[in-house]
Amino acid sequence: MTGTENTVGKVWLVGAGCGRGLLTQEGRRILSRAQTVLYDALVAPETLLEASPEAELLPVGKRSGRHSVAQEAINALLIRKAREGKRVVRLKGGDSFVFGRGGEEALALQKAGIPWQVVPGISSAIGVPEHFGIPVTHRGLARSFTVITGHTRDGAEEDWQVLAHLQGTLVFLMGLERVETICRRLIQAGKKADTPASVLCGGYGEGEKRIDGTLEDLPEKARQQGAFPPAVILVGPVAGLGLCPEAPGKKEKILVTGTLSFCREVARELAEGGRETGELPLLAAEPLWGNIPEDFGQWDWLVFTSRNGVRLFFQWFREKKRDFRLLGQARFACIGEGTARELAEQG
């Protein structure tokens, strides 16, 4: 799809999940076809490896106390890119509609007449507790769970009386700065002070930490043990089950160099094998258009030795508006499976 004034693209609101490896298969498929990706700060770096090397990657992430791009500006950027005819992915940590402001973006897109679609993601409300061995529901202990935002834009308070008398699990997102207030208000509203509670910090990330306690002592333990965001606060008997999953082993760190496309391809394969990677693109493919012959009728074979060669050759063909039937008499050969896949993707 090319961007013209008469072409309207489409936006996908994709939940990337709450940690590396949790992007869904549908999310991966959509992300690999995106031309522009607007991504949040909480998206695992490995997830961006699923995007095409040619995709435009735009960071618009928000972290507590460090808002880099206003929501209105993000909405406007989504609309502008879609009106350029682009396939746009709005990539969010967790799920777009669970405190992800995806609903606001969907409303803005719909008002602007932009087609949109949602790809669900695994929310930290359930994914992070499970990762640390805490089920949000458990027979005999919790028949329900309630997800609450730890802070609101207008400072509105929750109904603590209602929350304190719920029999299920309470899951607070983005509430680390208010952990003392949350615990105190629940006790004041009638929740027992010895109710098990946990702070789950940096789930799925390096240095992740679980801090267990009760409503009475959790704030002090969080201070003493260095709790840090992003964090999930969980209140209820399930926090006291004592389930401890096997901790993941220390990952090898590997730095990948080469062209941008090569770095992303190799880093993706290494990440799937459990390695932690970094990318350092030091090379760039520079097209030498003058070496491409004008007459293809005199050649029996076209041999491609790299993915970059395939991509640049067909880029030249399209920019020159050449007729692909000129290649009808030639036979094709590729060196390497990656080169063959790139040729197949060109049709």
Q: Are strands 36-39 and 56-59 parallel, antiparallel or unpaired?
A: parallel
Marked catalytic residue, from 40, 95, 191, 212: 40
Marked catalytic residue, from 81, 92, 174, 191: 174
In sequence order, the 6+-apart residues with CB closer than 8 A to the CB of 129 are 135, 136, 171, 200, 232, 234, 238
Going by the DSSP 8-state scheme, the letter that residue 46 receives in this structure is G
Could you confirm whether 1 is annotated as catalytic?
no
In sequence order, the 6+-apart residues with CB closer than 8 A to the CB of 19 are 44, 127, 128, 131, 203, 204, 205
Marked catalytic residue, from 62, 81, 86, 92: 62
**Is residue 129 packed enough to be buried (19+ CB in 10 Å), middle (13-18) or exposed (0-12)?**
buried
Could you confirm whether 154 is annotated as catalytic?
no
Going 170 to 136 to 204 to 93, the CA torsion angle's sign is negative
**Is residue 64 packed enough to be buried (19+ CB in 10 Å), middle (13-18) or exposed (0-12)?**
middle
Could you confirm whether 40 is annotated as catalytic?
yes
CA distance 56 to 284: 16
DSSP secondary structure string for all residues of 200-239: EESTTSTT-EEEEEETTTHHHHHHHTT--SSEEEEESGGG
Contact predicate 254/275, CB 8 Å: yes
Task: Round to the nearest angstrom and report the end-to-end CA distance of the chain.
Answer: 15
Contact predicate 140/128, CB 8 Å: no
**Is residue 199 packed enough to be buried (19+ CB in 10 Å), middle (13-18) or exposed (0-12)?**
buried
Contact predicate 183/194, CB 8 Å: no
- Catalytic positions, written as ranges: 40, 62, 174
